[in-house]
Structure 1
Amino acid sequence: MGSCSLKAQSTGEKQIQPIIISQNILTTEEEKKIEGEIMRQRVSKIKQKGALFEVRKGSIPVMDAPTAQVKEVDKSYRDVEIIEKSFEKHFIFTTLTQDQKKVIIQAMKLYTLASNQTIFRQNQPGTSFFIVASGLLEVLVNDIRISTITEGQGFGELALMHDSPRTATVRTLTPVTLWGLDRNSFKRIIEDLNVKHYEENKAFIESVSVFAILKPAQIESLVGSLVTFNYAPGQVVVKEGDIGDLLFIIKEGIVSCTRKNIEIKKFIKGEYFGEQALIYNSPRTATCIAVTNVICLCIDRENLNTALGSQLQAIIFKNSQSIVIEKSEVLNKLSHIQTENLINAMEIKKYQSGDIMIEAGTIKNSVLVMILKGKVLSGIDTYEKFACIGAEDIIEEDEDKKYDDDLIVDGETDIAIITKSEFEKSIGGKYQLVTDNNQAFMILKHVQLFRGLSNDKIHSLLAALKVEKYADGQVIVEQNSEGDAFYIVKTGKVEVSIDSHVVRTITKHDYFGERSVILNQKRTATVTASSKVECWVLFQVDFMRIIDQGLRTHLMKRIELQDDNLTLEDLTYVKLLGKGMFGNVFLTIHKTKKIFYALKTVDRRKIYAYELQESLILERKVLMQLDHIFIMKLVKTLKDHKRIYFVLEYVRGMDLFDVIRKMSVVSEEDSRFYAACLIVILQHLHDRDIIYRDLKPENVVVDEEGYLKLIDFGTAKIVNGRTYTIVGTPHYMAPEVILRKGYTVAVDYWSLGIVLYELLFEKVPFADEEEDPMIVYEIVLTARLRYPRLQKPMPEVKSVIDQLLNKNPSLRMSAGFEKLKSHPWFSFIDWEKLLSKDIKSPYLPKVKKLDPDLILEHMRDQLLEGFLAKEETDNLPEPSGKSNSKWDVDF
């Protein structure tokens, strides 16, 4: 295997490390040696990760050039020339625009130092980049001089990306002056300019009438696909008669539009041309020439169709139909899938002014019409764009209602139309039954027991629901009786009583008895109808028929895992699982239930010293949203005056990093299995607006059944829109993260592509042999994707990787994970069986079965606190004042 992952280090925001290092308990001496070596490497890697975020003396970072005099001064032409020339030698600046360089040069400060002064020390975190204006400096590694730095040379650029440790010490040999730029200033300038650039481009796209109907995600895709072109005065932009496939939006300047050498119009900033050629592939009808220096934002037909998924006109029609559905009180009760099916089933028709769209006497419930463009008149009624005609009628059975007047088109008009029979076919049945089931579906999705099930399984359960009616005062279930059904209140109200005392009231869309479909438990309460009641009922026999034994076993484990009443006093220490800079993870066992948990602890002294409050709040918030069979489950968070605690599912196995090295050869079939697991995981995250941001083999455990489990959420973030922080591991980091251009969930697609490539070809595709992050970043940004020479062609998987490693985020995502899952390379994957763990996994880690009784007997008199405190040897001050903050109220 390639060595890249051994050197991979995460970077970015403060992270709480680790979640799990190694959870194997091996038996033979040889296995223990292997485990020890893995532990040593893993601890080493985590220490390296931690060093990237290390802050000395509490939360105050070590500053570069502490003895320098620092001034803000005007720069001469010569100063600017020196700085610009130096920029050419550092890729971090070569990727910037002239505007960005100009602002950065203005922000650089003049540092003046005497001889024998230290600029920064080896292994300390860096904050600034410097260019030598005058003087001589030396570079030392392990106190040995390896080179000198003279006028015009720059050094320390990695500090502008993140606070990784300096790889060398730099000292002055003579009095020197330096131009310096700190990371916070650089970050602020780049982010501000990128945000401005993005917002301007977004505003331009939204100002183009042909794009006005697009949804936010589609606008985002288009903005990501824009290309900037510059034109000098007199330069031809487009020529009359040429076949065009570019839309031009003027960002700066003036363009003259002529037809047969006669000027017919001037286009200025914010205006656009070329949309007809873009949409219809028609010849240019005019020549456009730059009058001044012109900057145009352009998008071509191929990128447009890739970003939006089909022809633009079809997208516009579908978006218009979506708007009509959202506005309709009848149609907006349909599910997303039903809405899509309805839109796809409707016929688009075009009418000219005066055409009769629907004749008088037509039965009202026979047809549904949406006005997408134009206007329709009927007697005294007028139907404008986005109006819906017949929605209230089509869901009724009354065929006596008819239109009294013709519906006549006023002006050029586009409509979408569908008959009653096709309407019901598209939504899956009668409207009332379908929408009732939609409500039941949403309830089932939120029931703890069913959260780990796929939508297909939930729909199968939905089909098995029976509607039962109960009279006022009728007992629905009785305390201590055998439970054989799960109930959702459809209408009415019921009372829950224990030992004849009413403890709560359940109303419409509440539910009860869910554990009885999987656990043979007696009812813990009596439930009585307190009015006329209708319930959806799922009987245990139907549940057992739909949910196979394997999946039931996994659901049982997750039910057993959940314990809202769990306290620290319930847990007994077993062993240390891993240590990180900020937190420790211990294996613990519940004293009575004998269930194993991973207990992650973070010392409050570290929380306040390193300002980890926001990171912990975010991590909890992310984990609280996740409940998936392939994601480590958060059971509960706890707190006391010493620590914050995360009680987590204990995942036994080995991380994917170690597994793929144990396997020696990972076949294409094995790679497909692991990639499919990762797709399912990322889809679950992205559906909840969570970006993972550091997907790599070290952050994924292969559990004892051979399936993947995502375990570390220190870099995950809930994002609506774009974020700019540089977070991740260089070899797995998407280009837009490195460039600070702002990014979305598309960065996880890139990391997935890197992991898939690594599985197949035993190395990462970019900078596999490089350890210097700056070199890695440069190669990721500039290198072409290449494949090793192979004995047999692999066109299908290559096309998957090509898409995932597209440097344009919009094209990388294409139409999302559903489209990716339908790729021919994944045709061998049964996604339902994957979620049920019914596919044979490529590798089963060797794990020793733990005897809970033996452990509890051995640790019976041991206090958990003693073991936790033993690992907290850092010499940190006790919190003062800050400990009274309300930041941890939800823990």
Structure 2
Amino acid sequence: MASTEHQEYIQKKVNPILESLVTAILLDKPDDAVGFMISWLSAKAAGGGSEADNLRLRINAVKQEIADLENKLALADESDDNDDDVVDELPPPPVKKGPRGSVSAEAYGQWNKKKDYKPVEIPKSDEAKARIRQVLQGSFLFSTLEESELEIVVMAMEEVKPAAGERIIQQNDDGDCLYVIEEGVCQCKINKGLEGEVVVKTCEAGDAFGELALLYNCPRAASVDAAEPSVLWKLDRLTFNAIVKDAASKKREKYIAFLQGVQIIKDLGGYEVSQLADALKPSIVPAGSNVVTQGESGDTFYLVEDGALYAWKGNSPDISLLEYGPGQFFGELALLRNDLRQANVTTRSDCKLLSVDRKTFSRLLGPLQQILEKNASANY
């Protein structure tokens, strides 16, 4: 009974977190995997006073799962025999005779040259494009895409409408696409041999499935059936690899290069810079907008990637106290002193800003507190 309860708990509570975490790691491929996982879980943790406890529990759960996976992989290396203890989320090897196959990311070289990607465009109405965008906005896989990249993905997606009970993905088949659910419910099933197929996960609107075969470059880890009439959007492997998979690594490289040009960030170590790059959230702010308002509480630190802004106080918007441009930052004072915003900051032009929340600011920029305080005292 306890075993069944444990399995149900893992499937409902632990697996969804681990699946998203593994996907994030494979998309980004960080040098410091443990640090990345802690940072990722920290960003996902929510709650008031219990936030630290929740995060600690999640980290411990991930550590335990990693230990379990390492033990199982060690056993797998000693024998080719399959058993029922294999974790469901690990893609199984192809069912065929001969040496056991390996699991790896897409590899390119003389024998497998990476082709120049030519965007696929499947005609669709503006209404269909809007529907796809709405679905993708709620999907973790596509959260790092720029507008131009998102447009390519939208145009490349193909609508699929499976009937109830129809098989969409077959376990052990080669994977050449992934699916995002707009409407309906799909069930992921693992073949347990004598037990038959067992439902291990249920996917609903906004969920994606089939991405692991593309990330790992391996056969399908599970079968997927439509539990009811559904509307899905299918994305091909080439577009996924060229746009989605590359977006995360390009974003990190781009932001690391940007941060290395910010004077104060130069005092941080390489690890902190890479962690900060992962945590940055981009936003576009139109000209004439107030980013910071005097007297309000502040919980965000801003870096200017592009554009111009200025600071002013009271009822004197025409009197500029400070000007901000690319590579400069603001908003640190309220976070350093746990105080209200001391000035307004308004955009002079359309701006691209990068921001981090209070928790990330304290964790990653804590070593710079004295320098930031000195800078704030001189400027404000």
TM-score of the pair, normalised by structure 1: 0.25
Higher strand share: 1
Flag the structure with more relative contact order, 1 or 2, with Cα contacts below 8 A and sequence separation at least 6.
2
TM-score of the pair, normalised by structure 2: 0.50
Larger Rg: 1
